[in-house]
Chain A
Amino acid sequence: MMMTEYFVVLVALILCIIMAIIRIIRGPTAPDRIVGLDTVNTIVIVSMVIFGAAFNEVIYIDVAIVYALLSYISTLFIAKYLEGGEF
């Protein structure tokens, strides 16, 4: 019923992911690349939830929850590495 609208939203989100990937490739410094990576992570979570709602599968939303927590931990570790601190 709502399948076409879901795919329009997914195409717009993929366009946004492509713009963030251009920033990851072109970024002059390392924090620029991390900002792009963080944006890609958030948009991938949103697309997974939209995908799960489109096909009426709850398992995709569970995967999105786990992906959110793990990408947060990876962002914190990369930021800690850039600071030069000790773990």
Chain B
Amino acid sequence: MGIGMIVDGIVYLFLAIGVFFNLLAGVGLLRFPDVYTRLHAGTKCTTFGSIFILGTVIILGLKTWYLGDVNGSVLTIHTIVALIAILLTNPTGAHAIARAAHRSNVKPYGAVVDHLEKKPTTKATKQPKEVK
């Protein structure tokens, strides 16, 4: 009885935190002035919110498993796999998008100098342009 009420309180707290950060991601996508700041809002906030919402499902699955239902173990393990997939793929995709935005000449808002421009890029992308 006592453990169940504590688990329910933790579940409500985690759901509130996750929904709050996902809504912050949406507001940041609408309000920020630039590709890179929008990427900052849209990736970090959704990753942090997804950790808490999927953690809620993991806790509920563990509670179901503890109460004697075997379906809770399947729910827990599959949700952990989905969480690992989100944690691995989301920052990598954000890095690829930021690199593509910089190489397609999208400047940051209010930028004066670009130090990354001066660095020599890799041969695979730079070589065919010099041949032409």
Contacts and interface: CB of A to CB of B under 8 A. Distances in A.
Given A42-B90, A49-B79, A35 B60 contact: no
Interface residues of A, number: 50
Nearest to B71: A56
State the majority secondary structure of interface residues on A.
Answer: helix
A62 B43 CA distance: 23
Given A36-B29, A65-B82, A68-B85, A75 B96 contact: yes
Contact of B78 (A19, A22, A61): A61
A53 to B, nearest CB: 5
B23 A15 contact: yes
Interface string A40-63: 001101100110110010100110
Nearest to B103: A83
Contact of B85 (A29, A32, A69): A69
28 contacts: A5-B15, A9-B15, A9-B53, A12-B19, A15-B23, A16-B23, A16-B25, A19-B27, A19-B29, A19-B30, A29-B35, A31-B101, A36-B29, A42-B46, A42-B86, A42-B90, A49-B57, A53-B75, A61-B82, A68-B85, A69-B85, A69-B89, A72-B89, A79-B97, A82-B104, A83-B99, A85-B125, A86-B128
Given A46-B18, A56-B75, 18 more contacts: A12-B19, A12-B22, A20-B29, A31-B100, A31-B101, A35-B29, A35-B38, A38-B43, A38-B94, A39-B42, A49-B57, A53-B61, A58-B78, A68-B85, A76-B92, A82-B100, A83-B125, A85-B124
Interface of B: 12, 15, 18-19, 22-23, 25-27, 29-30, 35, 38-39, 42-43, 46-47, 49-50, 53-54, 57, 60-61, 71, 74-75, 78-79, 81-82, 85-86, 89-90, 92-94, 96-97, 99-101, 103-104, 106, 124-125, 128
